[in-house]
Amino acid sequence: MNPIASGSVLITGPTSGLGRATALALARRPAAERPDLLLVGRPGRHLSEVAREASAAGATVREIGCDLSRLADVRSAGQTVQRLLDSSAVRPLRGLIANAGVGMIDTHTTSADGYELTFAVNHLAHARLVGDLLGSFAAPARIVLLGSNTYHQNVFRRVLHVPPARWRDPIELARPTPADEPATLELGGIAYSTSKLAILYYAHELQRRAPAGISVTVFEPGFMPGTGLGRERGVGLQRIGRLVQRVPGVSSPARSGPALASVVLDDRWAHLRDGAFVVKDRERAVKAFAHDRIREARLWEATAELLDSARV
């Protein structure tokens, strides 16, 4: 049996879009290739529906209600996972997919802990969850973080007015835009792209600090217009996105979900580590500035400060 499939895989944000497609792709694997599933997402009908569908496909599933914009919720989710592992209610933890994410236009918006919401959910929440569970993985194990090529700009993204990352000290990135400054579409895009650069930096540093046998990868699902991530950008743009999805080569949850499931599970990807960057189904090099040991170490240190400050 594939060693990852012999254990449990945790996925955040499994209620819609890429997360739902990935969870169901894992659940629909043949029995010998199917891990137990720990579904960490907002409690309610959507979480229960995907859990039922995954169970009907044959998977052992546990619903873990969690609002990732609340670090207390994230810590509680990690404790729930630990209890399930300690009681052998699920098989050993061998995979974690940090899928959940947001892209806010209004960078005044804060998490329950007072941090800018995009940075809080895309980076801090997963850093909390991974950090709390890092000693609980059974090797070999894989951690897959959700990245995006928006961390840098090319001609295509320039035409679409998608801004690249604008790095600052992580303490500054966690601060919302001051109330007396206007929120703009550009600021929202910068916050999203910068959170994705943070994920690359975090992945590289996480690999240095992870126990032996745990590999860290960053997955880019490709341009997926029309998904829930764009709900803050208005109904009109969402409709345009759904039309663009029909263009050949454009990604969708139905296409990228199985690809993400493959990265966490299949032997084909067993060699990946050190924050290797996979775009859909191919490993790609990242820009030189996305490797920076000074920024990576500072991000790790600042993340610990921010998480400690949020403790209640």
Report the CATH number that the domain containing residue 169 is assigned in CATH. Answer: 3.40.50.720
> Bigger pLDDT: 233 or 193?
193
Residue type present at position 303: T
Q: How many CA atoms lie within 13 A of 154 on its CB side?
A: 6
Report how far apart, in Å, the C-alpha atoms of 246 and of each of 190, 224, 242, 250 are. 27, 11, 7, 7
State yes or no: pLDDT of 231 exceeds 50: no
Q: Whose CA is closest to 3, among 146, 206, 213?
A: 213
Confidence of residue 283 (pLDDT cuts 50, 70, 90): very high
Number of structural domains the chain divides into:
1
- What is the extent of the structural domain holding 83? 8-310
Domain-located, residue 275: yes
Q: Cβ of 268: how many Cβ atoms within 10 Å?
A: 10
Orientation angle between helical segments 293-309 and 185-209, nearest 10 degrees: 100
pTM to 2 decimals? 0.92
How many helices (H) and strands (E) the chain has is answered by: 11, 8
Mean pLDDT confidence for 226-241 = 46
Burial class (CB in 10 A: 0-12, 13-18, 19+), 16: middle
Domain-located, residue 145: yes
Give the least confident one: 9-13, 44-48, 253-257, 260-264: 253-257
Domain-located, residue 268: yes
Domain-located, residue 2: no
Residue 125 pLDDT? 98
Q: Quote the percentage of the chain above a pLDDT of 70.
A: 89
Residue 243 to residue 230: CA distance in whole angstroms: 14
**pLDDT tens per residue across span 58-96:** 999 999 999 999 999 999 999 999 999 999 999 999 999
**pLDDT tens per residue across span 106-151:** 999 999 999 999 999 999 999 999 999 999 999 999 999 999 999 9
Give the least confident one: 87-91, 134-138, 179-183, 304-308: 179-183
Domain-located, residue 3: no
State yes or no: pLDDT of 233 exceeds 60: no
Give the least confident one: 138-142, 162-166, 256-260: 162-166
Confidence of residue 161 (pLDDT cuts 50, 70, 90): confident
Q: Look at residue 277 and give its three-state secondary structure.
A: strand
State yes or no: pLDDT of 243 exceeds 60: no
Pairing of β 8-12 and β 93-98: parallel
Domain-located, residue 107: yes
Residue 97 to residue 205: CA distance in whole angstroms: 17
State yes or no: pLDDT of 304 exceeds 80: yes
Q: How confident is the prediction for the chain on average, in pLDDT?
A: 91
Domain-located, residue 1: no
Cα three-residue angle 228-238-13, rounded to 5 degrees:
5
